[in-house]
A and B are shown apart, each in its own frame.
Chain A
């Protein structure tokens, strides 16, 4: 599973946003807002963590069962894959 390095995380106040950025330009026309749990997931993928590793982090951070956390993580990653922000298995 790999993170598309054309995207970067921008922190704006309490919000975190995914913004598309290349060597020559920064595209704010399609910005994706990340809530705290999706930020945790995105940062996990950026740091090359496996789904199980990200699940452990989420369980440690939030009051959620391992099964529910893993399910939510898989759903989020699949959404990011449809946007080509994450690719591979």
Chain B
């Protein structure tokens, strides 16, 4: 199904102040999220480091990645499976924020202890780079 279909549905849903549930497609948020997992999106609010956001790149591509850093009202974004940071994303490019995910039919809240442990270790870019490289061997 075309991504624009989901985006139209997302915009309509957020306008009604409802949560939009969408399937994940791609590898950039592994090992946390895999194709087939679901993400629940709400209006973007109080955006901060480590939030997972759905945004529109200037080239027209829609992406779901994590906020690595916020600097001078610009957002630096990075997929969990990536090492190269995407810089200077504007707030108006961010369409939605994840408020929870569904993995193997189980709801995972971002306040869950296991998630917070995962996040603690995965924020170290060098560690992530090493693991990704080792996996390719």
Contacts and interface: CB of A to CB of B under 8 A. Distances in A.
Interface string A1-43: 0000000001010000001010111111101000000000000
Contacts of A25: 13, 18-21, 40
A19 B23 contact: no
B19 A29 contact: no
A10 B18 CA distance: 16
A-B pairs, top 7 by smallest CB distance, nearest first, are A25-B19, A27-B21, A26-B13, A29-B23, A29-B38, A28-B9, A28-B22
- Sorting the interface of chain A by its residue count into under 10, 10 to 19, 20 to 34 or 35 or more gives 10 to 19
Contacts of B5: 12
A28 B22 CA distance: 5
Main secondary structure, interface of B, reads mixed
Contact of A10 (B9, B19, B22, B40): B9
Interface range on chain B: under 10, 10 to 19, 20 to 34, or 35 or more?
A: 10 to 19
Contacts of B20: 25-26, 28
B6 A28 contact: yes
Contacts of B16: 26
Contacts of B12: 26
Contact of B21 (A10, A23, A29): A29
B8 interface: yes
A31 B1 contact: yes
Contact of A29 (B8, B13, B18, B22): B22
Interface in B57-78: none
B121 to A, nearest CB: 29
